[in-house]
A and B are shown apart, each in its own frame.
Chain A
Amino acid sequence: MVNRDVIIDIRHLSKSFGDKKVLDDINFYIRRGEFITLLGPSGCGKTTTLRIIAGFVEPTEGQVLLDGKDISGIPPYQRPLNTVFQRYALFPHLDVYDNIAFGLKLKNVPEDEIDKKVRKVLKLVSMSDYESRDVDSLSGGQQQRVAIARALVNQPKVLLLDEPLAALDLKMRKDMQIELKEMHEKLGITFIYVTHDQEEALTLSDTIVVMNEGKIQQIGTPTDIYNEPQNEFVADFIGESNILNGTMLCDRKVNFVDHDFDCVDEGFGENVPVDVVVRPEDVEIRKDQSKAEFFGTVSSCTFKGVFYQIFVNTETGFELMVQNYRKYDVGEKVGMQIQPGNIQVMRKPRIRNTFNGEIIDNTHVCFLGESFECKPTELKAGTEVKVEVEFKNIDLQDHQEEGTVNGEVHFILYKGDHYHLTVLTESGEHVYVDTQDIWDKGDLVGINIAARDIKIGKIDE
């Protein structure tokens, strides 16, 4: 059954460049007339996805369906799609008019019709008087408009935009965002937009696809993505947030920063460890301290234009980011409150590290590609086992040679009173670490684990 509403359907898309997997089983669909944004940090696979749709990159696996038909074998010049390139790629040997007319001339459209269409699209991008200008003489913003006009004049079914505003300055970017949005509404063409700028994505999109490390993290409307992030990555990447360890006590009751809060989430079970996300603007500072739920001391207060960004140390030793319209003095004691609806509870993807290992002898076990000393075990050498290590029991060393296994700090999450790191080992596995120490993304580290902290269990079938 072909859904008439769906224009592009992406199924099980994977792509590897050599050994490196840049896309891993991507699935999503795009509705006709939708403004959809692929959002993620650099290297997350968003541009590769766009290039696969445009036809410049062949997927290793999977299909792209356009109006229900697989377009995998069709070369880019036969696809009814047009792209606005990141650095515009306007032809320097042609003037503005000929750049825009390029596609129409190839299709042998009659001269007078080309003329009419080019003028119309120039008007659409407010560049009417520039037709005979040299493209090199245009400003960045004007080149951008010509690039959009050059794509739109071909009346594509879908317009692909690869970080089109990245090269513009802030003010220009904001203006172009509004214009793009208006153009989209006026034309009714489907827009697929790629950006790493979360604010841009929230402003422009009907739907956002958040990607990281070649995988889709969340698909939803901007408000869904902002208010109900499904995992730590999305919560951290979209907007500012406090991400904290918590415990779901029972339905509608969650404990974090050592305080019990009312919330609106149900169905997690009782005493289940969870992640809690609270946006800084949702931490309300109560003047009337009798109405406050918990208390803290202001440690810094910075003016950010519309609001003040305040860091508060709670009495229980957690640091929270708070946004408020009022200025608070450093050292001032404040009472705070969070509305139940503003507490976003997420299931923890894991509560400890779990590795596949193999017994070497009665005091050694092999995992992460290396041999670790462990507590004496009865299991026979060669037995495959499940190895568990608590986040806080992973010991990171500054120098790789001091560690049993080497890795690189890949992702850092501040959890109010400690950092939760994701370390990528040389064997390509993830090790999750809770630490008080400050590390930077990309730091090379040695990993040690004490024998007493390695828990060996049978592999459950």
Chain B
Amino acid sequence: MSKRHNWSIPYFVFMVLFVVLPLLLVAVYAFQDGNGRFTFANIVRFFSDSNALSTFALSIEVAIENTVLCILIGYPAAWLLANRKYNRSAVTIILFILPMWINALMRTLATAELFNILGVQLGKGTLLYGMVYDYLPFMIYPIYTILQKMDKSYAEAAEDLGATPSQVFWKVTVPLSMPGVRSGILMVFMPTVSTFAISEFLTNNKIKLFGTIIQENINSSMWNYGAALALIMLLIIGISTLFNKNDGEEAESSLI
């Protein structure tokens, strides 16, 4: 027993070194001024900085838009992929997942170049395009997995009780696939809030997102304010994760 227990030590060390310590560092920096003294000034600064606040609001807005678009495009795609009538091969699924194997930065650069060649004006449209392109597989995959595993007898039972195929879809398939949609939201919404590369390349920094501001602060050696911003973002992500774990029907409907 005790020997087995020892096997967890390397993982424990890893967690401390690469997860807990950096997080503590962020927290410590966030509550220090340039001279290493304890202060709330960084946090206060954020809440009184209208520029930072509006960027934050915009980030959330873009993240929500991106998530909604990913659901609208990803759900039907996942449904078609999971339906044996329309898709009989694993290759199509791999094709959908394939972009995930290529570094997101490279894909974003390539997309930017493509817009450049086509002469498309960079702006919010191109930003959302890039985000949906990058994050769509993260929405499709969890929904696909849950739809594919779903016991077919639920749909049959509904049909048996008089539901037309579209009623079966809305009254049984969609509610039962909600856990998939929820984890899709987690995997799309959270990372979009903190993204900065996509906005940098696909809007030429015309649109700044929250991640961009953190990056700029850190790049210009304003470690403490950057850390405070990162901490605030972490808290928001953390809260929405907890919110999701509550597993209540309210949680999912409010997130959608």
Question: Nearest-CB distance from B182 to chain A (Å)?
Answer: 13
- Cβ of A106 and Cβ of B167 under 8 Å apart? yes
B154 closest partner in A (C-beta): A89
Question: Nearest-CB distance from A253 to chain B (Å)?
Answer: 55
State which of A81, A92, A150 has its C-beta within 8 Å of the C-beta of B176.
A92
Most chain B CB within a 10 A radius of its CB, from A77, A82, A154: A77
Question: Nearest-CB distance from A438 to chain B (Å)?
Answer: 40
Chain B: interface secondary structure? helix
**In the assembled complex, A418 has its CB within 8 A of some CB on chain B:** no
Question: Nearest-CB distance from A71 to chain B (Å)?
Answer: 14
Residues of B within 8 A of A76 (CB): 156, 159-160
**In the assembled complex, A41 has its CB within 8 A of some CB on chain B:** no
State which of A56, A86, A92, A107 has its C-beta within 8 Å of the C-beta of B162.
A107
Chain A interfacial residues counted at CB < 8 A? 24
State which of A81, A85, A150 has its C-beta within 8 Å of the C-beta of B156.
A85
- Cβ of A91 and Cβ of B157 under 8 Å apart? yes
- Cβ of A154 and Cβ of B162 under 8 Å apart? yes
- Cβ of A106 and Cβ of B161 under 8 Å apart? yes
- Cβ of B163 and Cβ of A83 under 8 Å apart? no
Q: Which of A65-80 contact B (CB under 8 A)?
A: 75-78
Most chain A CB within a 10 A radius of its CB, from B153, B157, B159, B172: B157
**In the assembled complex, A130 has its CB within 8 A of some CB on chain B:** no
Residues of A within 8 A of B162 (CB): 77-78, 103, 106-107, 154
**In the assembled complex, A4 has its CB within 8 A of some CB on chain B:** no
Residues of A within 8 A of B146 (CB): none
Residues of B within 8 A of A103 (CB): 161-162
- Cβ of A87 and Cβ of B153 under 8 Å apart? yes
Most chain A CB within a 10 A radius of its CB, from B160, B167, B171, B175: B160
Residues of B within 8 A of A107 (CB): 162
Complex formed: what's the CA distance from A89 to B171 in Å? 14
Chain B interfacial residues counted at CB < 8 A? 18
B249 closest partner in A (C-beta): A93
The interface bits of chain B over 160-195 (1 if a CB of A lies within 8 angstroms of the residue's CB, else 0) are 111110010001100110100000000000000000
With contacts A77-B160, A77-B162 known, is A85 near B167, CB below 8 A? no
Q: Which of A109-156 contact B (CB under 8 A)?
A: 150-151, 154
Residues of A within 8 A of B159 (CB): 56, 75-77
Known: A77-B159, A83-B157. 19 other contacts (CB 8 A): A56-B156, A76-B160, A77-B160, A77-B164, A78-B162, A83-B160, A85-B153, A85-B157, A87-B151, A89-B156, A91-B157, A91-B172, A102-B163, A102-B171, A103-B161, A103-B162, A106-B162, A106-B171, A154-B161
Q: Could you list which residues of chain A lie within 8 angstroms of chain B, going by C-beta atoms?
A: 54, 56, 75-78, 81-83, 85-87, 89-93, 102-103, 106-107, 150-151, 154
Provide a sorted-by-A list of 27 A–B residue pairs whose CB atoms are within 8 angstroms.
Answer: A54-B160, A75-B159, A77-B159, A77-B162, A77-B163, A78-B162, A82-B160, A85-B156, A86-B153, A87-B151, A89-B157, A91-B157, A91-B158, A91-B172, A93-B176, A93-B178, A102-B161, A102-B171, A103-B161, A106-B161, A106-B163, A106-B167, A150-B157, A150-B161, A151-B160, A151-B161, A154-B161
Q: Could you list which residues of chain B lie within 8 angstroms of chain A, going by C-beta atoms?
A: 151, 153-154, 156-164, 167, 171-172, 175-176, 178
